[in-house]
Amino acid sequence: MTEFTPILSLLGGSLIGLAAVALMAVHGRIAGISGILGGLLQSPGSADWSWRAAFVAGMASSAMIVALASGWSPNYEVPVTTLMLLGGGVLVGLGATLGSGCTSGHGVCGISRFSARSIVATCTFMATGLVTVFLIRHVFGG
């Protein structure tokens, strides 16, 4: 069970949107996290490598910075096995790269521009996510 948090989720979502808008306004870039991560696997010499690294560093240190500044730490529960984290992670990286984006790139940035590709991609991964959880939790036990 996780608690339904409409206000915090709306607030957090607005900050995500604000960050996506800021990245476009300042750097002219789509805030697609899988793409930015993928860019880091290219050679570090490229011009885009350093802003991507800085962006990822900001994201990756956010929990620590928030904890140091306010003492607040979010709930974090992993109701799946390590194998599911690893295997699911591989599919996440593989699928998001083949499909040119994930929740942030397609779901937020792409839909904001009313991109047909992003709308189709978002509906697709939402649907397969729903089916996967249904199968794991209600068909194969869980």
Partner 1 sequence: MLKLLTAFAIGLLFGIGILISGMANPAKVLNFFDLFGTWDPSLAFVMGGALTVSVIGYRLIFRMKKPLLAQSFSLLTRSDLDSRLIGGSAIFGIGWGISGICPGGLLPALSLGRIEPIYALVGVLVGIAGAKLLTKTLDRPAAAPSPNQIKGAGNA
- For partner 1, the binding residues in 100-119 under the rule CB under 8 A are 100, 102-104, 106-109, 111-113, 115-117
Tell me how far, at minimum, the Cβ of 2 lies from partner 1, in Å: 4
Shortest Cβ 71–partner 1 spacing (Å):
13
If one asks whether residue 132 binds partner 1 (CB under 8 A), the answer comes out as yes
Is the Cβ–Cβ distance between 50 and 112 less than 8 Å?
A: no
98 touching partner 1, by CB under 8 A: yes
- Say whether residue 21 binds partner 1 (CB under 8 A): yes
User: Rounded distance, CA 123 to CA 36, Å?
Assistant: 22
27-86: which residues touch partner 1 (CB under 8 A)? 27-31, 33-34, 37-38, 41-45, 50-52, 54-66, 73-80, 82, 84-86
Distance CA(3)–CA(103), nearest Å, equals 22
Measured distance CA(19)–CA(31) in Å, rounded: 8
Nearest alpha-carbon partner for 109 in 24, 9, 1: 24
